[in-house]
Amino acid sequence: MENVKKFGLVGRNIAYSFSKKYFTEKFKKLFLKDHSYEVFDIKDISEISDVLQTENLHGFNVTIPYKEQILPFLDELSDEAKEIGAVNTVSIRTGKTKGFNTDTYGFEKTLNLHKKGHQQSALVLGDGGAAKAVRYVLKQKNIPFETVSRKSDINFENLSRDLVSSHKIIVQCTPVGTYPDVNDCLAFPFEALTNEHLIIDLIYNPTYTEFIKKAAEQGAKCVNGYFMLEQQAEKAWEIWNS
């Protein structure tokens, strides 16, 4: 078909992609026969130049590990993408690319839906693009937080039970436990969790990661990344059509 409006997902090892299925079904429901959604599985960010040459490409999503690496290849950044330093949605207008971060929108929606009044401070596990979006939202909502990552002062080796006890929101932003490595799990003092904790694991495949299973055993309220993913996808669709 001529003049098909193309959209897609840029990432590495993304055969399991939620986005292709989601948008393909969306196009069907909206009777958009002239829209298609492709997976651009690239081994290195330098290959993004080839993706940008795709005829009739109107926009694309960006996932691990390119949310930060893609920045130098874009013409413009939205305010939140600039501040966060990570992009997960790109729009293309008259040959110009603009990067956005709709993870912020998806995470805020998730947090608003599940957070309770006593959950006043957070631990952010990880330091990649998704963690940056999460920290941005927490700052906007004046929720104090600590980052736990391999390179931070508080890391997975020295993370104490007391710190976990005193931070009632735990956001798991690392890819550890993602399909196909579903048996992997971060080293974490799960015994410090209680039914007063909210656990948000940004992974959506599998539905229940080992992290969520172990947290749920302690009575914590657990949420995976599926709702956030749907919300950020809808925001991306809005951007592409605005």
Tokens of 68: 């930060």
Give the chain's length: 242
Tokens of 122: 């957070």
Place of tokens 């298609």: 36
For the question of residue 67 being annotated catalytic, the response is yes
* 103-114 and 129-140 helices, crossing angle to 10°: 60
Per the CB < 8 A criterion, the answer to whether 150 and 125 are in contact is: no
> Which stretches does DSSP call E strand in the chain?
5-11, 35-41, 57-62, 76-77, 89-93, 96-100, 122-125, 145-148, 169-172, 198-201, 221-223
Instruction: Pick left, alpha or beta for residue 198 (phi over 0 → left; psi -120 to 50 → alpha; otherwise beta).
Output: beta
Residue 149: count of CB within 10 angstroms of its CB: 17
Residue 53: count of CB within 10 angstroms of its CB: 8
Cα R_g (the chain), whole angstroms: 18
Single-letter amino acid, residue 180: P
Catalytic residue among 21, 29, 43, 67: 67
Q: Any idea which residues carry the catalytic annotation?
A: 67
